[in-house]
Amino acid sequence: MSYEIIGITVLWTFLYGYIIIASIDFGAGFFNFYSKVTGTDNIISPIIGRYLNPVWEVTNVFFVFFFVGIVGFYPDTAYYYGTALLIPASIALILLSIRGSYYAFNSYNKESKMSWAFLYGVTGLLIPASLSVALVISEGGYIIQDDSGIQLNLEELLFSTYSWSVVFLAIITVLYVSSAFLTFYANRARAKEATELTRRWFLIWTLPMLVITQFVFLGLRDHNYEHFTNAQNVWYLFGLSLLFMGIAVYLVWRRINYGLAFIMIMMQYGFAFFGYGISKMPYILYPYVEINTSVVNDAMALALTVVFVLGLFMLIPSLGLLLRLFLFDKDYVQGKDNSKY
Amino acid sequence: MDDVILGRVLTATTLGFHIIFATIGVGMPIVFMVLEFLGIRKKDTDYLTMARRIAKGYTVTVAVGVVTGTIIGLQLSLIWPDFMRLGGQIIALPLFMETFAFFFEAIFLGIFLYTWDRFKNPWHHWLLNIPIVIGSSLSAVFITTVNSFMNTPAGFDMVDGELINIDPLAAMFNPSTWVRVFHVVATAYTTAIFLIASIGAFKLLRSKFNEDREYHKKGLKVMMVVGLIAASMTALAGDLSAKFLHEHQPEKLAALEWHFETEDNADLILFGMLDEENQEVKYELRIPSFLSFLAGSSFDTEVTGLNDIPEDEHPPLVIHYFFDIMVFFGFYALGISILYFIAKFTRLDEHHPALLYAYVLTGPLTMAAIEAGWFLAEMGRQPWILRGYMRVSEAVTNADGLGVTLVAFVILYALLGFTCSYVLLRMFKGKSAQQDRFDLYGERYKGGQL
């Protein structure tokens, strides 16, 4: 396999991983805040905390991994995205920083503060929206290149149906994925009330989820017809994605096997995300950055691939240990572990 | 202001803020690793409580370190897109490895913090320190190789603005890598250790909890032992750096020593004020021939002067002040730890209030030395972003909005810095360490013994 394919597959997979675990993380922060406002926080907040506390740092690394990787494998992206995204990416960074730090401030402070819960809850919803701008501009048409260099066409971005549909997709994804995960986790914790609460949140968000995906396709048709036709060629991937969503919703609706339901949701996103990615090829940023022409020199590509494989040997067992201790350890999940911190 | 200045100020602000937390991030795991070791070994719950309290505070600083690290990671591409396009061909490898190291640390830190009481054998929990120390120190190592590469580029040829014949490992292990890595890691350990020593000394002066005195004395003693080792390593690293600069970056050495004429028997200048027009130094402390000695272990070593370097490649001469601060505060910590042992092994009281005040200063001053050291290292390679190949002015973004971005980030850092201090202060204020010890280990371990 050539380096450009290896590179993009690795990066796309990591981005996929980030979308799933960050959605859980961001959504959990929002639901934590929401439950404080509605007075149900004694039901759900301890469960959210028990899950989030040991893993919050790891979520962030997935993101760092992605952007370091993409600049490494395709240095041109640093130039194009770097220049175009100065303002949008700075906004995303500020939101990420507020969220990341106030999560820690709130969790490790003597008592939780409403305003801090607000900061990290609400920024959690805005971060995916602001990060999705990078995916939106990858479709082309939002960047102007002339003699002075690159500029982002902000007006085009703000008044485009496609960009807004992606933004809403990002927000709804967060709420949809995290409520599904929390249903599973609460159920494992044998917290009946919490399970019912999160199950209801999940079911509420399924309808907007269906609607927004249609809008994204319509927006893409208007914005980048070439990509839209490519997407139609892999229609079966999107079909499978819809099928998995159906199974997930059915399982949660009937209250059977929330774990399987969450795996179905991961499949739903997996197929849609890779379907989108495959149909995008060969462009990373239409039409400026192509994977074939912008890939890093061979020596570096080889070194990166070797490091990546070695890194995985180290990461996978460590991640496995983390999950075993905090996600699959019954006593911990049910709050019976009396480790004091 | 023009974009180059704005870009530099923004990068400096982010890094200046980040290195506070990054230094703690790299150094502090050593501190609680040592304390937990002593605690288990001596069956002493005081040390264990100390390790746990420090680890808890550490988590808060890690959060800020993580987010500011993410910021600088992306800002490299946002502010200096042309540099990353060129440099990305080469620095991708260490950056990528840094992420893995950080990943590794993040996973085990999460496990470490939430499994204190989970293992029957306490040594199993202690083992978790090892991946944390490895991960945090390796991230420092890898990221320092990137910075070293920017100072002393190697491992490629440049033909018509294109990089060819790239050798990723030669670029990573460029001439300045070893000496800088050593310097960065040693100073991070030193700073973290003395920060804890400062807190201990401060508590001995001011704490309202009398029952904690023995606890803080124990902590102070441990920190002074490891602090003395780390500070000596730092001094050694500094000496190696001077020799390195003489060999590979003479313009930086000349600028930070206000050394204008190339000569042997060159004097070392400490403090002083410079009259740049006449190249005259006033009020300085001059150690004859010592610069030559530092540069080459012999007074006859010829040290290149600034006048032999093209004027448009001169680093700013203000870096001499940063050099003074770094060296002076670095040696202060070393001197204080020696003083502690002199007091301890003679008839003096090592906990005399005057000495305690001196200990309190070590932490903040070593942190100031870190900041000054980075300012001198980074400003000392101006005007280059990639020394000898790309100037800072060629690398800055052409996008609008650097000014607004700068303001936004300054506000962000002020907010984070303030809240972080608030949380850390509150975390340890209301409750004595002995109370914590009691809550964690119970009445039967009274008096520190497990």
Long-range own/partner contacts, residues B115-118 (CB < 8 A, 24 or more apart): B115/A325, B115/A339, B116/A339, B116/A340, B116/A341, B116/B52, B116/B440, B117/A338, B117/A339, B117/A340, B118/A325, B118/A337, B118/A339
Q: What pLDDT is recorded for position A1? A: 64
Does B29 score more than 90 pLDDT?
yes
pLDDT of res. B164: 79
Alpha-carbon dihedral sign for residues A109, A115, A116, A117: positive
Is residue B189 within 8 A of residue B212, CB to CB? The reply is no
pLDDT over 70 percentage in chain B: 98
Checking if the pLDDT of B448 tops 60, the result is no
User: What pLDDT, in 10s, does the model give residues A149-175?
Assistant: 777 777 777 877 888 888 888 888 888
Query: Considering the entire predicted model, what is its pTM?
Result: 0.90
Cis, bond preceding A287 (omega within 30 deg of 0):
yes
For A82, which of B69, B84, B404 is closest by C-beta distance? B84
Q: What's at B271, amino acid-wise?
A: F
Q: Which chain A residue has the Cα nearest residue B156?
A: A299
Structure tokens at A5: 């394919």
Any CB–CB contact under 8 A between A312 and chain B?
Answer: no
Confidence of residue B447 (pLDDT cuts 50, 70, 90): low
pLDDT above 90 for B34? yes
Smallest CA–CA distance from A69 into chain B, residue: B96
What residue type is B267 in one-letter code?
D
- Contact yes or no for B92 and A296 at CB 8 A: yes
Chain A hits for B409, Cβ within 8 Å: 90, 94
Predicted confidence (pLDDT) at residue A102 exceeds the cutoff of 80: yes
Output the CA torsion sign for B172, B173, B178, B179: negative
Does the pLDDT value for residue B178 go beyond 60?
yes
**Band (B145; pLDDT cuts 50, 70, 90):** very high
- Whether the pLDDT of residue A338 is over 60: the answer is no
> Mean pLDDT over residues B113-130, rounded?
88
Whole-number pLDDT of residue B255: 86
Q: What CA–CA distance (Å, rounded) separates A302 from A307? A: 9
Could you tell me the two tokens for B288?
């004859």
Checking if the pLDDT of A341 tops 60, the result is no
Q: What is the mean pLDDT of residues B13-31?
A: 94
Q: Is the ipTM of this complex over 0.85?
A: yes
pLDDT at B144: 94
Is residue B441's pLDDT more than 70? yes
Q: Does A327 touch chain B (CB under 8 A)?
A: no
The residue type at B37: F
Predicted local distance difference test score (pLDDT) of residue A314: 80
pLDDT at A340 over 60: no
Read off the amino acid at residue A186: A
* DSSP per position, B86-135: HHHHHHHHHHHHHHHHHHHHHHHHHHHHT-TTT-SSHHHHHHTHHHHHHH
Band the pLDDT of A63: cuts 50, 70, 90: confident
B142: pLDDT strictly greater than 90: yes
Q: Which of residues 180-219 of B touch A (CB under 8 A)?
A: none
In whole angstroms, what is the distance from residue B183 CA to residue B181 CA? 5
| B350 at interface of A, judged by CB pairs closer than 8 A | no
Mean pLDDT of B140-160: 88
In tens, the pLDDT along A64-100 reads 888 888 888 888 888 888 888 888 899 999 999 998 8
Question: What residues are paired with B384 via a beta bridge?
Answer: B391
For A104-133, write each residue's pLDDT tens digit: 888 777 777 888 888 888 888 888 888 888
Question: Nearest Cβ partner of A54 from B87, B111, B398?
Answer: B111
Q: Across the interface, do A86 and B439 touch by the CB < 8 Å criterion?
A: no
**Separation CA B179–CA B231 (nearest Å):** 16
For residue A86, give the nearest of B52, B59, B405 by CB distance: B405
Looking at the partner chain, which of A61, A87, A109 has a beta carbon nearest the beta carbon of B426? A109
pLDDT of residue B445: 54
Residue B6 neighbours by CB under 8 Å, 6+ apart = B402, B403, B406
pLDDT band at B449 (very low <50, low <70, confident <90, very high): low
Residue B93 forms contact with A (CB below 8 Å): yes
Contact A100 B71 (CB under 8 A): no
> What gap in Å lies between CA A79 and CA B76, rounded to an integer?
10
Residue B263 pairs with which residues in a beta bridge?
B303
Q: At what angle do helices A258-280 and A225-233 cross, to 10 degrees?
A: 130
- Is the pLDDT at A144 greater than 80, yes or no? no
Residue B39 scores a pLDDT above 60:
yes
Kindly list the domain boundaries of chain A, sorted by start residue: 3-333
| Nearest chain A CA: its distance from B400 CA (Å) | 8
Q: How far is B135 from chain A (nearest CA, A)?
A: 11
